[in-house]
Amino acid sequence: MSATHATRIAWKMINDILKLIERLAPDPVCDDCIAERLQLADLQKVRIATNALAGTSRFERCSDTCALCDHKKLATRRSQ
């Protein structure tokens, strides 16, 4: 796989994660549910992506109840 192809795949995954979080806003969603909903096998890559999104002013990560699984854990939401 070329670096360009891998980069495109990574950006698509981040964009899909962003869209899911936006769709559920203002409710938070955990990494496990993001991975399950988007059928992403690599949870570590999901964590890297959600941490990157939380590094922007548009998103935040906090311990909260996930809107999808109803478990309290680290979750990502759109900043209010």
What is the predicted pLDDT for the residue at 7? 78
pLDDT of residue 62: 95
- At residue 4, the pLDDT reads 79
Give CA–CA dist 70/4, Å, rounded: 38
Q: Are 28 and 65 in contact (CB under 8 A)?
A: yes
What pLDDT is attached to residue 9?
77
Q: Considering only CA atoms, which of 67, 80, 1, 51 is closest in space to residue 9?
A: 1
| Joined tokens for residue 70 | 């109803």
For 31-80, what is each residue's pLDDT tens digit? 999 999 999 999 999 999 999 999 999 999 999 999 999 999 999 999 98
Using an 8 Å Cβ cutoff, are 54 and 71 in contact? no
